[in-house]
Structure 1
Amino acid sequence: MIRVSRQRRIAAPPAAVFAALTEPDRLATLLPRVRRIELLEQRPNFARVATHMALGPFGTLRSEGEVRWQDGREVIFTTLRPVPVEAHWQLLAVDNATDLKATLTLDLAPLLGPLAAFVPTAEVERMVAADLEAALQAVAGAVRT
């Protein structure tokens, strides 16, 4: 299991950051490796989505998952196949800004089987950390105050 967190202070209130994180048409531009997102179902605090993610030598993988949120506080994306992933975005108001913490947890074993033991965890963590940093920067750039 791999778990990586990164945090960034964004000069905007949580409502503006939350709006940037939950705008379906913009999500693919905010998240590295995500090429396309399909909205399959939406309710007040829940959505089912399909993401198409570029995963290096594995090509582009389609996965269906759930997105749950609490307005202005957090957004959680979870998928089980082909790779179990949880992306958790937490928003905390600080003065006139927002601390946005992004945590990605993934398990390569279901996709790779016993070969997952040979995957260099530190390299995957570095790659995920860079992706999270890029996503945090993209969210900061997308916020409209």
Structure 2
Amino acid sequence: MNRIEKVREAVDAVLLNIADAGERRCGYMHLYGVSQACVLIALKRDENAELAAVSGMLHDIHTYATMDPRDHAHKGSAMARDLLNSMKCFEAGEIDVICSAIYHHSSKEITHAPFDEVLKDADVMQHCLYNPLFDVMKHETERFGKLKEEFGLTGREP
């Protein structure tokens, strides 16, 4: 089994423990949607697509494991580090890259390392594409506009 599928099994175990079916559905859609968007953006920017997929799956793991979104980026980074270390199939440097992206993903107003930006932008992309009839959140408008430009997309003004 490849590393992405090992992480997917761990994420599924967390999501399957969510009692509320609606919350569980949101968890699946968001974590796997962000993971796919991470791969797309990583490929476009010549970043590591495998590590991007993993960071997307794990970026909100704390929120879905505890159903508590407070300080979820920082707590989720620590939780992801423990999980990835326990799998014994990721190198320390790879874990550092993934966990840095998770740690910084809520700081959308600050620019961090290029790999960190992949996760931030994927999170915004999933939020904005989830339902094109929803308004883009004010704090995501600028990033969404830049993503649309980067991907040559028209329509749906931010």
Instruction: Give the TM-score normalised by structure 2.
Output: 0.25
Q: Is the helix fraction higher in 1 or 2?
A: 2
Larger relative strand fraction: 1
TM-score by length of 1: 0.27
